[in-house]
Amino acid sequence: MTKAHNYISFVVAAALSVYWQQAAIALFLGIALAVTLGPLPLASGSKLSRIALQVGVVVLGLALPFREVITLGSTNGALVSTMVLATLICGYVLLQLMYADDTSGKLLITGTAVCGGTAVATLAPVIEAKDQQVAQVLTIIFVLNGLAILLFPAIGTALDLTQEQFGMWAAMAIHDTSSVVGAASAYGEEALKTAATLKILRILWLIPVILLASYSMKRVTANHIRIPLFVMGFFIASLIGGYFQFDSAVTGAFSTISKSLFAFALFLIGSQISLQVLRTICPRLITMALVLWTALSTTSLYWVLQI
C-alpha cells in the first residue's frame, strides 16, 4: 500500500472508532493497523491522543454535577488513598526483590499506583529516565490497559457487580484514565460517572508523589513539578454543570461527546504501538508489572465486594 492509502486507512478507522464509541474496539483497531501497516505516520499522534483524553475528561465533568463528585469523594476517598499507598509501598518492596532496573521500576510503580501514562510522563524528567525506559514502561502499561478493557466488564458481569461497584473497581485497579473510562463506559453510565470521579481523586496523588521524587532528587522547583491541568478543568466543569443543572438531554450529549473523544484517544494510542519496543522489554520488568497489577486488581475487587 502507498503512503496515501495508509493515511486513508487510519482516517477511516479513526472515524469508525469515534462513531462506534467503543473503547476496546478503538484500541485494538489502532493496534491492528499499527501492526499491519506500521505505526500511524503522524508526528503529533501522542500529543493529539493526550489532548483528546483530557478534553474528554473535562467534558464529562459537565455531565457530573460537583455535588456528586463531593459525595463520591467523601464516601470513597479514603479507600482510593489506601489502595494508592499500598500499591506504592508494595511496588517498592517488589522492586528490591525483583532486581529490576531501578528507574524503570519507579516509573512502573507510579504508573500502576496513580495514573498510568500521565504519571510516567510526569515522573520521567524528574528522575532522569531515558526515552527507551519510558517507552518500555508505557508499552507494558498499554498492554495491561488493553487487557483490562476486555476483561474487567466480563468479570464485573460474571460477579454481578453493581454500577457503583464496577466504577470503583475500575478507578482503583486500571492504570490510565482512558482505559478506566473505556472499561466503565462499556459497563454502564453510572459506572462511568463513578469511575471518572474516583480516578480523578487517584490522579491527585500525583502531586505528593512528584514532590517526594523531586525532593529525593533535590529538585523541588516549578520547572520539574508538572501537575495535569485537566484535573482542575474537570472540577471547574463539574461546578458549571452543578450550577446550571442541565437537563438529561444536555448531559447525555456531553456524555456522548466525551465517549467519542475517549474512543479517538484510544485509537491513537493503539496506532502508536511499536513491535521493536516490545522486543527490548526486560522480562523482570514484565513480571513485576503483572504481579503488582494482579495484586492491585484482586485486592481492590475483594474490597469492593465487601461494600
Q: What is the pLDDT of residues 51-70, one digit of tens each?
A: 887 788 788 778 767 766 66
6-15, 70-79, 118-127, 183-192 — which is least confidently predicted?
Answer: 70-79
**Where do we find the cell 501514562?**
117
pLDDT for residue 72: 59
pLDDT over 70, % of the chain: 86
pLDDT of residue 41: 67
Give 307's contacts (C-beta < 8 A, 6+ positions apart).
Answer: 165, 168
**What mean pLDDT value characterizes the chain?**
82
Q: Is residue 138 part of a domain?
A: yes
pLDDT at 31 > cutoff 50: yes
**Residue 29 backbone phi and psi in degrees, to 5:** -65, -40
Average pLDDT of the residues in 282-296: 93
- Whole-angstrom Cα Rg for the chain: 19
Does 21 reside within a domain?
Answer: no
In a domain, 49, yes or no: no
More confident residue, 117 or 88: 88
Average the pLDDT over 271-288 and give the result: 80
**pLDDT the model gives residue 131:** 66
The number of domains in the chain is 1
Give a yes or no: residue 122 inside a domain: yes
- Do the domain assignments include residue 268? no
- pLDDT tens across 158-198, in order? 999 999 999 999 999 999 887 898 899 889 888 988 898 88
Count the residues in the chain: 307
Query: What is the Cα–Cα distance from 207 to 178, expressed in whole angstroms?
Result: 20
pLDDT tier, 71 (very low <50, low <70, confident <90, very high otherwise): low
Domain contains 257: no
| Residue 51 located in a structural domain | no
pLDDT of residue 220: 46
- Whether residue 29 is predicted with pLDDT greater than 80 in this model: the reply is yes
* pLDDT grade for 23, boundaries at 50, 70 and 90: low
* Residue 178, domain member (yes or no): yes
Look-up of cell digits 520488568: 285
Residues of the domain holding 293: 65-246+275-305
**Average pLDDT estimate for 20-37:** 78
Residue 300 is predicted with a pLDDT of 94
Q: How many degrees, rounded to 5, is the angle at CA 19 between CA 17 and CA 21?
A: 65
Closest CA to 134 of 148, 116, 147, 113: 116
Sign of CA dihedral 32, 34, 36, 42: positive
